[in-house]
Amino acid sequence: MTAAAAENHAFEADVARLLHMMVHSVYSDKDVFLRELVSNAADACEKLRYEAIANPALLGDDANSRITITLDPDLNRIVLEDNGVGMSREEMIEALGTIARSGTRAFMERITASQASEGAQLIGQFGVGFYSSFMVAEQVDVISRRAGTDEAWIWSSDGKGSYTVAEADLSDAPKRGTRITLNLSEEAKDYTSRWTVERIVKQQSGHVPVPITLIEKPGAEPAEITDGSALWTKSKSEISETEYADFYRSVSGQYDDPALTVHFRAEGRHEYTTLAFVPGAQPFDMFDPDRKGRMKLYVKRVFITDDAELLPRYLRFVRGLVDTSDLPLNVSREMIQESPILSAIRKGVTNRILSSLEKMAENEADKFKTLWDNFGAVLKEGIYEDFEKKAQLLALSRFRTTTSGDSYRTLADYVKDAKEGQSAIYYITGGNLDQLKASPQLEGFRARGIEVLLLSDSIDAFWVMNAPEFEGKSLKSITQGGADLAQFAKTDAPKDESEAESADKAGALADLIAFAKEKLADAVADVRSSERLTESAVCLVASEGGYDRQMEKILQGAGQLPSAAKPVLELNPDHSMVRAIAAQASDAAFREDAVHLLLDQARVLDGDKPSDPRAFAERLQRVFERASRA
């Protein structure tokens, strides 16, 4: 059959690992292999249509794209054929012997980090392309002929470490495109059943823009099972919820239901149609460092690219497409980047998506809460990056606060319930919500019934630096500068002391503070009496100006801040321990140990370590010894 001897190639190491997992996967939903192969076939057809814009001869007398699935129950086989662009020998080796695409690479990285059993779950979520055929097949043969060439190649593998490539007879090959034959394993026999395959294809691939034909067994009458019409060209009233959801799944590669569907046609100066979805669950690549979007650009129903950045990066979780008739079909990459038409479209689509989100926030609060759980951290990047949309995004944002419990609060809620005379919106940032809730810096705010935003996403430390105000109130970190809390009464006021008593204590405290300032001068910028503490003895805050504590840590961690500014140590004047230390004015050695230990305690409360563990242990020991002698 082959015109030349087959060459043997080993798979790239990652592919071999992936295949091993595919074959041994206990994951029950093996149906995904069909979706993956159909989507590759459709991509190949779309690539050909795109190449044919510059080179119409490629289409020859066979201009209509099609995908044909032929079943063969007797031989336990399923064959998928497309008349798309096909692959040359080099393309085959590159595409089917290595891990070419970013999704598969991301998948492998996830797998390395997790258990194999979870890996099996992930296969279903990711699909992972062509290689998923080895979940059902013992042997896969791919014959392909690149459009416009007169040679064909056959790639074969049993998925166990290597594959062969050989030249194929033209008479055995499709005239153009690719034929994939899966020799199914015994357990996968059901995939030769017409009903099974028809159901799966309709469900998973019902809206790929290439018609799909099914042949029940060799020689049987072909039957078209999907018509390849572009769903987005129909009017909204003709499209059912289920059709939207199916389309969403095929365009996003996800399995959930969309949380939000935005379908509209812009007319007037620019003409384009958008069909976009906010996923119901987080896509796997949301926090990839390249922060790429996945909106596809079509021109007059021809797929052009998914690289046109049709949405700002903070909307990169949105999946879908824009189809416009305003651009020429042969639009180049450079043109795409500079096109004023595209920038107008980008603006229009962005506005529409934001206003749909606003509507949802208003009318379907519960749904929006879930959406915010999934994508809030990404949306907030826009507060930092998109000056024009900053106010809109701030209003859309949801926050955990000291009073929110498990629900969310908006800044409008916050401002409405702010204290008389309160000019700031207070916040604290940090890596973890529970830790934030336990921060000593919050105590004074709690005691006065002042709400504080608890910001625990990593992006928060950034946008707060340039968001800065909402309805006339500026945002203020409670771990930085003075707390200005004296003007607000505590909800449970402390019991009265005689004036003489409190003057005495104030004197002793001032004395202790002066002492601490001198002894800790290398480590802190200042020591002062705190308004923000009620239960804890001490806390650290940043000086006014510069960064707040959290931002300082992030920058230091990233090596961006060689010499951190010294923090301010605050002492709780009402705390029994602070008072007891203040009262021990005569024992200087004890006092020195005590103020160092107070500083270390503040560091620990801040999530850090004592700066000198050995000195810390020795001081602690001396203080214990002194206490046991007393």
**Which residues make beta-bridge pairs with 212?**
67, 226
CB contact at 8 A, 346 and 309:
yes
Secondary structure in 3-state letters for 234-263: CCHHHCCHHHHHHHHHHHHCCCCCCCEEEE
We find the least distance from the C-beta atom of residue 45 to ligand ADP, in angstroms, to be 9
Q: Kindly write out the interface string for residues 29-48 of this chain, putting x where it contacts ligand ADP by CB under 6 A and - elsewhere.
A: -------x---xx-xx----
* Closer by beta carbon to Mg ion, 253 or else 280: 253
Identify what 246 binds: ligand ADP, Mg ion, none; CB under 5 to 8 Å per kind.
none
Whichever of 86 and 312 has its CB closer to ligand ADP, that residue is 86
Task: Kindly state the smallest distance separating residue 153's Cβ from ligand ADP, in Å.
Answer: 12
Site for ligand ADP in 602-621 (CB under 6 A): none
Residues 79-98 as x/- pattern, contact with ligand ADP by CB under 6 A: ---x-xxxx-------xx--
**Nearer to Mg ion among residue 40 and residue 204 (C-beta):** 40
Residue 292 vs 419, nearer CB to ligand ADP:
292
Which of ligand ADP, Mg ion, none has residue 523 at its interface (CB below 5 to 8 Å by kind)? none
Tell me which of ligand ADP, Mg ion, none is bound by residue 31, counting a contact when its beta carbon lies within the kind-specific cut-off of 5 to 8 angstroms. none
Q: Which is nearer to ligand ADP, 75 or 100 (CB)?
A: 100
Closest CA to 327 of 317, 314, 340: 340
| Phi-psi map region of 241: left, alpha, beta (phi>0 left; psi -120 to 50 alpha) | alpha
Shortest reach from residue 571's CB to ligand ADP, in Å? 60
Binding segment toward ligand ADP, per CB under 6 A, in 99-107, 206-214, 336-344, 347-355 = 99-107
Q: Rounded to the nearest whole angstrom, what is the least distance from the CB of residue 144 to ligand ADP in the complex?
A: 6
**C-alpha 122: how far from its chain's center?**
16
Which is nearest to 336 in space by CA: 362, 371, 299?
Answer: 299
SS (H, E, C) 380-395: CHHHHHCHHHHHHHHH
Measured CA to CA, the distance from residue 137 to residue 33 in angstroms comes to 10
Using CB under 5 A as the binding rule, the residues of this chain from 110 to 139 that contact Mg ion are 129
Nearer to Mg ion, 307 or 358 (CB): 307
Q: Are 389 and 354 in contact (CB under 8 A)?
A: yes
In terms of CB distance, is 130 or 247 closer to ligand ADP?
130
Query: How would you label 611-628 residue by residue, b for 16+ Cβ within 10 Å and e otherwise?
Result: eeeeebeebeebeeeeee
Give me the least distance between CB of 305 and Mg ion, in Å please: 16
DSSP 8-state class, residue 285: T
Question: Which element (helix H / strand E) includes 40?
Answer: helix 32-54
Q: Where would I find the H helices in 558-612?
A: 576-583, 588-605
Angstrom distance (rounded) from CA 440 to CA 452: 13
Using CB under 6 A, which residues numbered 47 to 66 contact ligand ADP?
A: none
Pick the closer one to Mg ion by CB: 133 or 422: 133
Smallest separation (angstroms) from ligand ADP to the CB of 208: 12
Nearer to ligand ADP, 86 or 159 (CB): 86
Q: What is the largest CA-CA distance in the chain?
A: 108
Residue (96 or 455) nearer to Mg ion, CB: 96
Q: Is the dihedral of CA 206, 197, 41, 121 positive or negative?
A: positive
Residue 463 structure tokens:
């946008």
CB of 129 to Mg ion, least distance (A): 4
Of residues 86, 91, 95, the one with CA closest to residue 170 = 86
Q: How far apart are CA 250 and CA 340, in angstroms?
A: 30
What is the nearest approach in angstroms of Mg ion to the Cβ of residue 127?
7
Contact between 84 and Mg ion (CB under 5 A)? no
Q: By CB under 6 A, what part of segment 163-202 binds ligand ADP?
A: 178
Residue with tokens 């119901």: 280
- Distance (Å, rounded) from C-alpha 577 to C-alpha 602? 14
Q: Which does 95 bind (CB under 5 to 8 A by kind): ligand ADP, Mg ion, none?
A: ligand ADP
Q: Which residue is nearest to Mg ion (CB)?
A: 129
Q: How many residues bind ligand ADP (CB under 6 A)?
A: 18
403 CB-near residues (< 8 Å, 6+ apart): 409, 417, 451
Rounded distance between C-alpha atoms, residue 561 and residue 556, angstroms: 5
The answer to whether the CB of 401 falls within 8 A of the CB of 451 is yes
From Mg ion, ligand ADP, none, interface partner of 100 (C-beta below 5 to 8 A by class): ligand ADP
Choosing from 7, 10, 55, 101, the residue that interacts with ligand ADP (CB under 6 A) is: 101
Name the residue among 231, 169, 211 with its Cα closest to residue 41. 211
Nearer Cβ to ligand ADP, position 148 or 468? 148
Nearer of residues 178 and 250 to ligand ADP, judged by Cβ: 178
CA distance between the termini of the chain: 98
Within 16-45, the residues that bind Mg ion by CB under 5 A are 40
Nearer to ligand ADP, 106 or 555 (CB): 106
Q: How far is the CB of 484 from ligand ADP (least distance, A)?
A: 56
74 vs 150, beta carbon nearer ligand ADP: 150
Minimum CB distance to ligand ADP, residue 405 (Å)? 43
44 binds, among Mg ion, ligand ADP, none (CB under 5 to 8 A by kind): ligand ADP
Q: Phi first, then psi: what are they for 272, rounded to 5°?
A: -160, 160
Centre a 10 Å sphere on the Cβ of residue 157 and count the other Cβ atoms it contains: 24
Q: What is the closest distance, in whole angstroms, from the C-beta atom of residue 104 to Mg ion in the complex? A: 9
- Applying the rule CB under 6 A, the residues between 116 and 155 that interact with ligand ADP are 129-130
CB of 106 to ligand ADP, least distance (A): 11
Distance (Å, whole) CA 180 – CA 493? 79
Please choose which of ligand ADP, Mg ion, none residue 82 contacts, taking the beta carbon within 5 to 8 angstroms, the exact cut-off set by kind. ligand ADP
Would you say 452 and 445 are in contact if contact means Cβ atoms under 8 Å apart?
yes
Name the residue number minimizing CB distance to ligand ADP.
Answer: 129
Phi, psi of 611 (to 5 degrees): -70, -30
Residue 314 structure tokens: 């903070």
Write out the residues near Mg ion by the rule CB under 5 A: 40, 129
Write out the residues near ligand ADP by the rule CB under 6 A: 36, 40-41, 43-44, 82, 84-87, 95-96, 100-101, 103, 129-130, 178
